[in-house]
Amino acid sequence: MSTASSENPVAKPQGTAHRVRVIIFRVVAAPAGLFFVVAVVLMASAPGVLLQPDQDVRSEPNRWFLTVAGSVDAITAGVLLALARRLRRTLLVLELAGAVILAGAIILPFQPTFAAILAIGVVPLIAYQYWRDVRMLHMPRLAGICRPNGPALD
């Protein structure tokens, strides 16, 4: 057996291309997350809409719309900032991709200008570099539908 055996393989050092892609993702994801933090702060006054002196007939639906919009912004801000900190949180990427697709399918036909806000959530997904990890997720195991080495639970 030679001294250059495969028993102790040397890990290939991460190249500069990898580091550049990480920096690009963080430069894109952090400001996008901060954009949604600002949106959350702007929606923080939503419960007080009913207390304003010039109440109109639709103040209750407006109040709940602002509250729901603020909660979605808070989730998106948390996901983007968490991904900017640690890139390999693949379930967060999957959640963000699903949210972008669902929001686009529901809102874009009725309000095409929403595409500008949606693009802020899409650009970090385009810059994400670990899509192989996302594709390799085995969702039934994560959901607890089957045991690791046994048949599916009914």
Domain boundaries, the chain: 17-47+60-135
Task: Round to whole Å and give the CA distance between 124 and 112.
Answer: 21
Amino acid at position 57, single letter? V
- Which residues, 6 or more positions from 141, have their beta carbon under 8 angstroms from its beta carbon? 148
Torsion of CA 80, 84, 89, 92, to 10 degrees: 0
DSSP 8-state secondary structure symbol assigned to residue 152: B
Asked if 71 contacts 62 with a C-beta cutoff of 8 angstroms, the reply is no
Judge if pTM exceeds 0.85. Answer: no
- Which residues, 6 or more positions from 96, have their beta carbon under 8 angstroms from its beta carbon? 76, 79, 80, 83, 121, 124, 125
Q: What is the pLDDT of residue 112?
A: 87
Average pLDDT over residues 45-61: 58
Q: What is the pLDDT of residue 34?
A: 93
| Burial class (CB within 10 angstroms; exposed 0-12, middle 13-18, buried 19+) of 95 | middle
- Which residues, 6 or more positions from 89, have their beta carbon under 8 angstroms from its beta carbon? 82, 83
| Predicted confidence band of residue 48 (pLDDT cuts 50, 70, 90) | low
Share of the chain above pLDDT 90, in %: 16
